[in-house]
Structure 1
Amino acid sequence: MPDRTDVCVLIPTLEEAATVGEVVSGFRNAGFEDVFVIDGGSDDDTRSIADANGARVRTQSGTGKGQAVREALEYVEKPYVLMADGDGTYCPEDADVMLEPLFDGRAEHVIGDRFADMEPGAMTRLNRVGNRLINRLFGTVHGRYLRDILSGYRAFTRDSFERFRLEADGFGIETELAAECVRHGVDTEVVPIRYLARPESSETNLRPLADGGRIVLTLYALAKTNNPIFYFGSVAAFGTLAGVSVAGFVAYRYFVVGISHEVLALLAAFLVLLSVQLLMFGFLTDVLVSVNREQTRRLEGLDDRLEGLDDRLEGLDDRLDDLED
């Protein structure tokens, strides 16, 4: 049975001197020996405070939370990773509920639901509304409602993480993780956690409008491989609307005013035909994606069987060695 010695607590930080010491010591006191802080080049005492409280510390080579997480996993040797922010908003006491689905084998990726028990003032009304909209949009685009895809409190197996193709450098990393879980069919579980208000002495690195916009764009871009019908269909719908609008203007000018607009008429026809082609391309791509997922699942199942066969052969070799002795 796995335990906390098999877990690396990963904490990405940037200018978190006011809170990182308490966060690190909280996880250390909870029995986690491997607490890894990867810092984005803070100008304050974040790194020295984390080190003084027992964390191993590394400065990331690039910028952004997404890049930090990808780089950090290159230095993680434990089979399980518990990821939390360094701002003191997540409770080390919730580690058990986060890790239980992994240890029991029920899931490979766990998301902490902040909305299950949110402290008053922990999230502004704007952020709360934005989170709700993004979660609903994710459910529509990717076909699975995960309640809180932007949560920074995650637990996952290193093996599942290595199957992901992650490219986001900033706060879009949480959206990418959720989308990759859906795309690869990774067993994902959402568990209730407590979400605390950020201490007044600590300033947030999140810019609601700018980062929210990037997250929405990331979510939409990921639909190209996860839900091609939605991705190409939305473009086709916009093109059809534009084409019909131009055609309506041309018809009005011709029948009411008596002036023809041949070039605009050609443009309207082009937009409608292009939209139809995009929709057809979306359906074809969706078929290819479905076939690819099925083949990937079969290959992964075959790989698991081969690993089991290797284990049996090793056990047989050991028995033969014992008999020879």
Structure 2
Amino acid sequence: MTTPNEGGCSAIDLSFIIPCLDESLGLKSVLEDCHTGGQLSGLRYEIIVADNGSTDGSQLIAQQLQARVIPVALRGYGAALRAGIQASMGAFIMMGDGDGTYCFREAPRFLQKLQQGDDLVIGNRFQGSIAKGAMPFLHRYLGNPVLSGLGRMFFGIRIGDFHCGLRAFRKEAIEQLGLSCPGMEFASEMVIKASLKQLRIAEVPTSLRPDHPHRRPHLRTWRDGWRHLRFMLSFSPKYAFLALAITLLTVSLGAVISYATDLKPFTGPNTLMIASFAFMTALVLTSDYITTRILFEQLYVYRGSSRLGRFFKWLGTYAGTNRLFQLSGLLVLASAGVLLPFATNGAISISSKPSNLLIFTSSSLAMLGLFCYLTGAKLSTFMAISASKNS
């Protein structure tokens, strides 16, 4: 029997969740498609409209079409969907916008993937069809391709349409991800955390239709694009920290070589100041990368370099940080030792190139020592907090 939820019936297999903020122009057709998709799926289903404070009568339309309205005080696409997921009763959930751009009649294709063992199924509009005027030029040829490409590069996710809003998933699998983003970046958060938790992700071709010509769009191209990118970087320490650290180390090394070999125009002592600044910044970024990576390895399955992992293990970052503190002390002593013989006989001159290179070497060793100390201190704090939470 394929009927919508009636009278709070608990035997629900499928929940449709529609985030809603003043969607009266397209909501009727969306809910009708949900009923059709639910009936075609052969499952008992319910429809939940997670309302974000509509003032255009969207709630009444939803009730008239047998949908359950969940009021959500916290504004935002992600906030509405999280509330809908929490209130849902189905083992399977299908989500999509309330503006009529997605077709919920395609539900059986998504559900077939879930029934075959996938945890998250995402629509791919580029493999399906995009009606004329359904996607703005910037979104179609810049925003979506760039962000989807970065998602594949950062996280190794084989998804062609990273931000398609028509999705189906197992409720039990998604609930373990701890989704928290209130805004549009919720779409990225779901995919990224599902990948880090090694859930099975699949995609199916889907269609995209134009929304109502008089509807006011909720998506803000540059603001929401930046929020997606910011979230991606926050979950990718390799690209947020390590890539820039390597670049700055290269700049530092190049500046030192230029100064030492009289390569014009980088021949003055200011070149060593640039090298020192780049080296110091690279060490700060590397320290942040190490501590962030260790944190991710505690929470998720981190797909980083195995060689770096072995190096971190040698440093003792997984079981303690004594080796980092020991290295810090040795490096500081080495820094002082480089200068000591010259300082005692007054041989150091700020106008001498060998002396300047010697000072740079000494300060670099001191910075490395500080790097080891700060990294060890941060990891010690993190481990102490983790231990107290687990006790």
Per the normalisation by structure 1, the TM-score is 0.77
Instruction: Tell whether 2:282 aligns with 1:275.
Output: yes
Structure 2: 5+ residue runs without aligned partners? 5-11, 303-391
- How far does residue 265 in structure 1 lie from its aligned partner after superposition? 4.0
Q: Distance in 1 between matches of 2:182 and 2:299?
A: 27
Which of the residues 187, 199, 224 maps onto 1:186?
199
Q: 1:153 to 1:260 in 2, by over 3 A?
A: same
Post-superposition offset of 1:47 = 1.3
Determine the C-alpha separation between the residues in 2 that align with 1:257 and 1:101: 60
1:49 maps onto 2:67 in alignment: no
Q: State the secondary structure of the residue aligned to 2:75.
A: coil
| 1:203 Cα deviation from its structure 2 partner | 2.4
- Give deviations 1:263-292, integer Å, cap 9, x for gaps: x84464143144146347636764775576
Give the match's secondary structure for 1:161: helix
**Matched ranges for 1:21-40 at <5 A:** 21-30=28-37, 31=39, 33-40=45-52
RMSD: 3.2
Task: Report the alpha carbon displacement of residue 230 of structure 1 after superposing the two structures with TM.
Answer: 2.4
**How do 1:80-159 and structure 2 match up within 5 A?**
80-103=92-115, 105-115=116-126, 116-128=128-140, 129-159=142-172
Could you say which residue in structure 1 is the equivalent of 2:185?
172
Q: How many angstroms does 1:120 deviate by?
A: 1.7
Relative contact order, higher structure (CA 8 A, sep 6+): 1
Runs of 4+ with deviation above 6 angstroms: 244-251, 254-259
Report sequence identity in percent.
25
1:24 maps to amino acid = L
Q: Deviations over 1:159-206 (max 9, x none)?
A: 111111222211101100110111000001010111111121322111
Residue correspondence of structure 1 range 165-314 to structure 2 within 5 A? 165-223=178-236, 228-237=237-246, 239-240=248-249, 260-261=269-270, 265-266=272-273, 268-276=275-283, 278-279=285-286, 282=289, 286=293, 289=296, 293=300
Amino acid at match of 1:233: L
Find the structure with the greater CA-based Rg. Answer: 2
Residue 299 of structure 1 is matched in structure 2 by none
Give the deviation of 1:14 after TM superposition.
1.1
Counterpart contact for 2:26–2:211, Cα < 8 Å? no
> Contact (CA 8 Å) 1:136, 1:145: kept in 2 or not?
no
Q: Would the aligned equivalents of 2:62 and 2:69 in 1 still touch at CA under 8 Å?
A: yes
The structure-2 alpha-carbon separation of the partners of 1:180 and 1:259, relative to structure 1 and needing over 3 Å to count, comes to: closer
Query: How many residues were matched structurally?
Result: 287
Cα distance change, pair 130–258 in 1 and its aligned pair in 2 (3 A):
closer
* Letter in structure 2 aligned against 1:189: A
* CA displacement at 1:144 relative to structure 2: 1.8
Q: TM-score, normalised by structure 2?
A: 0.65
8 Å Cα contact 1:25-1:54 kept in structure 2: no
Question: What corresponds to 2:326 in structure 1?
Answer: none
Q: Secondary structure of the residue that 1:199 maps to in structure 2?
A: coil
Native 8 Å contact 2:251 2:275 kept in 1: yes
AA matched with 1:272: F
1:100 Cα deviation (Å)? 0.7
Alignment-mate amino acid for residue 156 of structure 1: F
